[in-house]
Amino acid sequence: MGYSLTYKILKEHLVEGELQPGNEIGIRIDQTLTQDATGTMAYLQFEAMNIPSVKTELSVSYVDHNTLQMGFENADDHKYLQTMNSNFGIYYSGAGNGICHQVHLERFGKPGATLLGSDSHTPTGGGIGMIAIGAGGLDVAAAMGGGPFYITAPEVINIILTGKLRPWVSAKDIILKVLDILTTKGNVGCIVEYTGPGIKNLTVPERATITNMGAELGVTTSIFPSDGETKKFLDAQSRGGSWKELLPDEDAIYDRTIEIDLSELEPLVACPHSPDNIKKISELKGMKIDQVAIGSCTNSSYKDLKTVAEIVKGKKVDPEISFIVAPGSKQVFEMIARDGALADIISSGARIMEPACGFCIGAGQAPVTGGISLRTNNRNFEGRSGTKSGQIYLLSPESAALSALRGELVDPLDYPENDYPSISIPDKFIIDDSLIIPPSDKKTEIVRGPNIGDPPYTEPLNDSIKGIIGLKVGDKITTDHIMPAGPRLKYRSNIPEYSRFVFENVDPDFSERTLNNKEKGIYTAIIGGVSYGQGSSREHAAICPMYLGVRLVIVKSFERIHSGNLVNFGIVPLTFTNEDDYDKIKPGDAFEISGLIDMIGKSNSIKIDIAGRAYDFDLFATDRQRGILIDGGLLNYTKNLLHSGMRRPR
């Protein structure tokens, strides 16, 4: 029996556990990345571990989220991150250099390596054959310190691609089709591996679009083989020495197989408010639109923007819409500027944004009230755009550009095939790493502005807890619901301030009410439905509730990254043993637990008295995570291990 590519790389990096599906394993991490919205807290946590330097092969700190420096807070965070790099062996990619995933693919990604990033779209690296995984910042800090990263040995879903895309159908349509098949839920603990003869027809930027938005499936990551197309991309980046061929065995065994004929695909769109709400564009064409935004880490490569430029060249966009274009990196920006593509885009009526996350995270370019916005990014959760009533549709750059010209959603297949601009990967990209500051042996003062606080310290688990059900929510609660992004991001290094906005758009009084209860010694539990915590890796969706006094989250099912973040900050993640109990528990119900430490240490079942009735819940944690919960969180657990000089028994 042969190995999948996924298991080949995991086997090479295995440091703990048995590589069998369902087992918890620890893997060695070769590279890490952080971005400024999560990185400031990650590095504060790394400092708290008292480790003199990173122990990875490569760690890079990117500034790409909070680049709208309205006030001192974001600028102070950036200065802190920049002064951290020279002291701890970290590369620093400054504001303006581009989105972390785009830049990492261009300048640092390495086939066969493992990459852990404090951003949920880190799986972009799978486009060049990496095992690239998103995680909370504290997990990344631990990996920078040389610790393993723990995952469940995955089931591997093989997606076999055959055929070739027709003109006007793109890689974005492939991943939207995969989302239509697998949806955003039910895929926790899986990795998607792409194989088949259709792969040879996809460039690395196209593959990266697919692995990037694979994060919306809820899988651990996605991966493509490293082949001749990968070598071509790395050679063009003057990094051919990083290439090696990586393929699955011919007799590799997979847990599930799906076949997609690329020649049969047509342009698709994800409708509000979920990336798996997929429809054919042909069913919706003619819909009046208010905004078109092209960019984000999903679709901002040179190939994407050069294609857009060719579509709009010599034409004007509809004057009633706002047309926004954002390159993914400084490299892309400079290349389209030098070859004239940028001039064509500007001439069409586009507004050009800097190479940053921008509109994708709600940092600017919010649509009008009730506005219909076509976007090439990866998420369209309600309110994420910055306009709660905004209707966000996700689609390809080709579909977006054509629609911008008409002022309505158009079906690209209505256009002649000969009009489709076929863009090839350049033989050589422009290489200018002047905005990447390498680490230095020289120690410098670490600058901490007034908005930068201490890392959040948690208390060891209490054996007895009393409290109330502080909030009850439904299915598909995202980390955007829990911790809003956009203008609130500037408080990420200031936990007391950022905690004021927990569930701001769900229950505006939640934070104040919950903190007041904590001050009275009353803890809080949250009740939720299916796929709780989907979306961003932001660990603040666990840190800030913990700060307010949340100690339990009880739901029908969790998404992987968020459940891990809850454990890392001492919040006990529980699932309903009997889902019918969800309807019986009400906000304001009092709860009480006794003997919690013993139950977490020895049992899968946690007994809780709620409103005078006994309930059984399942503990959603591995054996190692039980120890983390008892210690009160991963930072406490890691410090205890370092002081004891040994690994805690499991």
On whether both 35 and 132 belong to a single domain, the answer is yes
Helix/strand/coil for 318: coil
Is residue 578 in a domain?
yes
Is residue 444 in a domain?
no
CB atoms within 10 A of CB 354: 16
Contacts of 531 (CB under 8 A, 6+ apart): 184, 185, 218, 475, 476, 477, 557, 558, 559
What is the overall mean pLDDT for the chain?
94
Alpha-carbon distance values, 333 to 36, 208, 408, 644 (Å): 21, 18, 27, 50
Give the span between the Cα atoms of 575 and 589, in whole angstroms: 18
Residue 412: CATH number of its domain: 3.30.499.10
**Structural contact between residues 350 and 328, judged by C-beta atoms closer than 8 angstroms:** no
Active-site choice (101, 107, 538, 560): 538
341-393 pLDDT, tens per residue?
Answer: 999 999 999 999 999 998 998 888 999 999 999 999 999 988 888 899 999 99
At residue 142, the pLDDT reads: 92
**Structural contact between residues 160 and 336, judged by C-beta atoms closer than 8 angstroms:** no
Angle in degrees, 0-180, between the axes of helices 634-644 and 560-568, rounded to the nearest 10: 60
Active-site choice (30, 76, 77, 119): 119
Is residue 626 annotated as part of the catalytic site, yes or no? no
**Structural contact between residues 212 and 298, judged by C-beta atoms closer than 8 angstroms:** yes
Is residue 20 in a domain?
yes
At residue 649, the pLDDT reads: 33
**Mean pLDDT within 265-285:** 97
3-state helix, strand, coil in the chain (%, to 5): 35, 20, 45
Among residues 230, 249, 264, the one where a domain terminates is 264
Among residues 264, 294, 313, the one where a domain terminates is 264
On whether both 225 and 324 belong to a single domain, the answer is no
In the block, residue with structure tokens 């610790």: 147
Burial pattern 217-233, b for ≥16 Cβ within 10 A else e, equals: bbbbbbbbbbbebbbbb
Task: Report DSSP letters for 412-462, one per residue.
Answer: GGGS-GGGS---PPPSS-----TTEEPP-SS--PPP--TT--PPPP-PPPP
553-571 pLDDT, tens per residue?
Answer: 999 999 988 999 999 999 9
On whether both 272 and 256 belong to a single domain, the answer is no
On whether both 247 and 317 belong to a single domain, the answer is no
Is residue 229 in a domain?
yes
Give the span between the Cα atoms of 29 and 502, in whole angstroms: 32
At position 163, the amino acid (one-letter code) is: G
On the question of pLDDT at 35 being above 60, the answer is: yes
Q: What are residue 625's phi and psi, to 5 degrees?
A: -65, -25
On whether both 397 and 508 belong to a single domain, the answer is no
CB atoms within 10 A of CB 343: 13
**Structural contact between residues 41 and 492, judged by C-beta atoms closer than 8 angstroms:** yes
Comparing 382 with 400, the larger pLDDT belongs to 400
Is residue 536 annotated as part of the catalytic site, yes or no? yes
Give the span between the Cα atoms of 52 and 344, in whole angstroms: 50
Query: Kindly report the CA angle at 494 between 64 and 640, in degrees rounded to 5?
Result: 100
Which regions of 125-235 does DSSP assign to beta strands (E)?
A: 131-134, 149-152, 155-162, 190-195, 221-223
Query: Kindly report the CA angle at 618 between 615 and 619, in degrees rounded to 5?
Result: 125
55-83 pLDDT, tens per residue?
Answer: 999 999 999 998 888 888 889 999 999 99
**Structural contact between residues 97 and 60, judged by C-beta atoms closer than 8 angstroms:** no
On whether both 30 and 127 belong to a single domain, the answer is yes
On whether both 603 and 478 belong to a single domain, the answer is yes
Q: What are residue 642's phi and psi, to 5 degrees?
A: -65, -40
On whether both 506 and 638 belong to a single domain, the answer is yes
Query: Kindly report the CA angle at 265 between 264 and 271, in degrees rounded to 5?
Result: 150
On the question of pLDDT at 645 being above 80, the answer is: no
Residue 546: CATH number of its domain: 3.20.19.10
On whether both 210 and 280 belong to a single domain, the answer is no
128-176 pLDDT, tens per residue?
Answer: 999 999 998 899 999 999 999 999 999 999 999 999 999 999 999 999 9
Chain-centroid distance, C-alpha 499:
21
On whether both 234 and 282 belong to a single domain, the answer is no
Among residues 362, 394, 418, the one where a domain terminates is 418
Active-site choice (30, 36, 64, 77): 64
On the question of pLDDT at 650 being above 70, the answer is: no
Number of domains observed in the structure of the chain: 3
At residue 230, the pLDDT reads: 98
**Structural contact between residues 409 and 320, judged by C-beta atoms closer than 8 angstroms:** no
On whether both 604 and 478 belong to a single domain, the answer is yes
The token duo for 99 is 């989105």
Of 308, 279, 512, nearest in space to 394 by CA: 279
**Mean pLDDT within 315-338:** 97
pLDDT band for position 642 (cuts 50, 70, 90): low
**Structural contact between residues 295 and 325, judged by C-beta atoms closer than 8 angstroms:** yes
Is residue 434 in a domain?
no
Is residue 205 in a domain?
yes
On whether both 115 and 242 belong to a single domain, the answer is yes
Active-site choice (30, 59, 61, 65): 65
The token duo for 235 is 């050679």
Helix/strand/coil for 480: helix
At position 340, the amino acid (one-letter code) is: G
Is residue 65 annotated as part of the catalytic site, yes or no? yes
Active-site choice (121, 379, 481, 562): 379
Chain-centroid distance, C-alpha 527:
24
Q: What are residue 551's phi and psi, to 5 degrees?
A: -120, -15
Is residue 342 in a domain?
yes
Segment among 164-173, 450-459, 464-473, 475-484 with least mean pLDDT:
450-459
Q: Which domain holds residue 318?
A: 268-418
Identify the helix (H) or strand (E) that includes residue 43. helix 36-48
Is residue 308 in a domain?
yes
On the question of pLDDT at 639 being above 80, the answer is: no
**Strand pairing partners for 278?**
270
**Structural contact between residues 352 and 341, judged by C-beta atoms closer than 8 angstroms:** no
Instruction: Note if the bond before 273 is cis, omega within 30 degrees.
Output: yes
